[in-house]
Structure 1
Amino acid sequence: MTLAYIYHSGFMLEGVSAILIFDFWRDADNGIVERTLSTTHKRVYFLASHFHQDHFNPEILNLPVPHGEKKVILSRDIYRRRRAGTEGVTAYLRRGESYRDDLITVHAFGSTDSGVSWAVHVEDKDIFHAGDLNNWHWADESTPQEIKKREGDFLAILNDIRKECMAFDLVMFPVDPRLGSDFARGARQWLQYIPTRYFAPMHFPPARERAMTFGPEAERMQTRFLYIQEEGEAIARF
């Protein structure tokens, strides 16, 4: 499988028979998504974790896959917020719900913000896209009580995930320097709780360079950190 970084929290994962596009906001400057969709004969899955405009672009409902097949799997809050209807949508999922077909299984876990996070089993690989699941503690600004509450909510969801999925081949997870001095706390806790083969940071523009400083720490925790240099690049093959 090949993982390409698109933009912000958007990634494209291409396998032998399927392509998964997570949290598409806009295409990379090199047009990797448009180019792939125009030529592929594979089944393309779009997944959007919640309604925020930096994670869901209704354009995905209209993007053509002229030689393949398209399926769209969305968090239920996108429908509740009237960001999309039922036309062109394969499934809406709430926390705890699943979608299955002959190529993939998708399970929706919780989030510490809007919507859900995604666990996907595809081509014998276990994949996780966090959406806006993170320990959003804002350590330099929040009170100790706020930090404790947010951390407790986050760790409860990690426990839910760990009960169902003991390890992942690939995880896409926020490493957002806006959080301040301890911006990688959520990512660190994820790796402490759940063994992860490849870890891709996201939700960091425009602070990419600082986000990448988490890499050496992640590698000391026995994971392969995927350093991102630019939009539209392939960052892993596994």
Structure 2
Amino acid sequence: MKLTYLFHSGFLLEADGFAVVFDYYRGGEAILDEVLRRGEPLYVLVSHEHRDHYNPEILTWSRLNSRICYLFPREMDSRSELVHLPNAAFLSRGESFADERVRVTAFGSTDLGASFEVETGGRVIFHAGDLNNWHWTDESTEEEVREAEAAYRAELDYLGQTVARFDVAMFPVDARLGSDYMRGARQFVERFEVGLFVPMHFYPAVAKAEAFAPIARQHGADFVLLSHTGDSVTIQ
């Protein structure tokens, strides 16, 4: 199984005989074209409709591959381009899609949409979407920080009712948050056992994302920074 970085929060997970795309926005077009032309089953997951997580171009991919399953958060089901989209599922928090290859469960977010847990081949993989502790400490009021903290911890509690360990977690480490930008990621690895932590939503602050490595390792997680389109890691 191989995980390849596309751009921003976009990743390609290639497994035996199928693949999963998370939050394609841009980047890796040649890589994706090759995957599409294989004609193997492809699951395309969109965490929410922000333009840096959802590019309607993904809807044209079925011209190259008829074996695509699209998975969206429930709140996107009224978008005009998706209303009559074949092979699409819309998941509310706690709902799952499953077939003989994968089981995808939608969990919560502290922004729009959902985060996704993907179970396949005995592995549990998490893509956070925009789930994070969006506290903006340096510019928010104390009340706003408390509200952000409470909302985030509530989502972690909900997730923790079902899952205790992730083999791989793709999670935001966004330096735009300011001095305490790693807070949400740190709370995540404190709460859950994570085999491999992969930062996302960090461009162009690559060094800031890499700075989270010691914290991840302190809490028992391996850490890999995929910062250029096409960078990949093999998942054992």
TM-score normalized with structure 1 length: 0.94
Matched, 1:33 2:32: yes
One of 108, 111, 130 as aligned partner of 1:110: 108
Range moving further from structure 2, 40-49 or 112-121: 40-49
Q: Distance in 1 between matches of 2:79 and 2:183?
A: 30
Query: Could you tell me how far 1:18 is from its partner in structure 2?
Result: 2.0
Q: What pairs with 1:20-59 in structure 2 (closer than 5 Å)? A: 20-28=20-28, 31-38=30-37, 40-59=38-57
- Asked whether the equivalents of residues 168 and 197 of structure 1 are also in contact (C-alpha less than 8 Å), the reply is yes
Q: What pairs with 1:135-174 in structure 2 (closer than 5 Å)? A: 135-174=133-172
SS in 1 for 2:196: strand
Query: Which residue in 2 is equivalent to 1:7?
Result: 7
Range moving further from structure 2, 157-166 or 66-75: 66-75
Q: 1:80 to 1:57 in 2, by over 3 A?
A: same
Q: Distance in 2 between matches of 1:165 and 1:133?
A: 16
Query: Which residue in 1 is equivalent to 2:58?
Result: 60
Q: Note the residue ranges of structure 2 that are not aligned, 5 or more in a row.
A: none
- RMSD (Å) for aligned C-alpha atoms: 1.6
Q: Distance in 2 between matches of 1:186 and 1:212?
A: 15
Q: Distance in 2 between matches of 1:229 and 1:135?
A: 22
Query: Which residue in 2 is equivalent to 1:184?
Result: 182
Range moving further from structure 2, 91-100 or 186-195: 91-100
Paired residues, what number? 236
Query: Could you tell me how far 1:161 is from its partner in structure 2?
Result: 0.8
Q: 1:94 to 1:153 in 2, by over 3 A?
A: same
SS in 2 for 1:168: strand
Range moving further from structure 2, 183-192 or 53-62: 53-62
* Counterpart amino acid of residue 35 in structure 2: T
* Counterpart amino acid of residue 12 in structure 2: M
SS in 2 for 1:153: helix
Q: Deviations over 1:212-234 (max 9, x none)?
A: 11112211111011112411211
* Counterpart amino acid of residue 180 in structure 1: G
SS in 2 for 1:42: coil
Query: Which residue in 2 is equivalent to 1:213?
Result: 211
Query: Which residue in 2 is equivalent to 1:196?
Result: 194
- Asked whether the equivalents of residues 20 and 43 of structure 2 are also in contact (C-alpha less than 8 Å), the reply is yes
Query: Could you tell me how far 1:27 is from its partner in structure 2?
Result: 2.6
Query: Could you tell me how far 1:88 is from its partner in structure 2?
Result: 3.2
Range moving further from structure 2, 220-229 or 145-154: 220-229
Q: Distance in 2 between matches of 1:77 and 1:94?
A: 8
Q: Distance in 2 between matches of 1:41 and 1:63?
A: 11
Query: Could you tell me how far 1:236 is from its partner in structure 2?
Result: 3.5
TM-score normalized with structure 2 length: 0.94
SS in 2 for 1:4: strand
Query: Could you tell me how far 1:172 is from its partner in structure 2?
Result: 0.6
SS in 1 for 2:61: coil
Range moving further from structure 2, 85-94 or 19-28: 85-94
Q: Distance in 1 between matches of 2:191 and 2:92?
A: 24
Query: Could you tell me how far 1:35 is from its partner in structure 2?
Result: 2.1
- Asked whether the equivalents of residues 167 and 196 of structure 1 are also in contact (C-alpha less than 8 Å), the reply is yes
Query: Which residue in 2 is equivalent to 1:230?
Result: 228
Q: Note the residue ranges of structure 1 that are not aligned, 5 or more in a row.
A: none
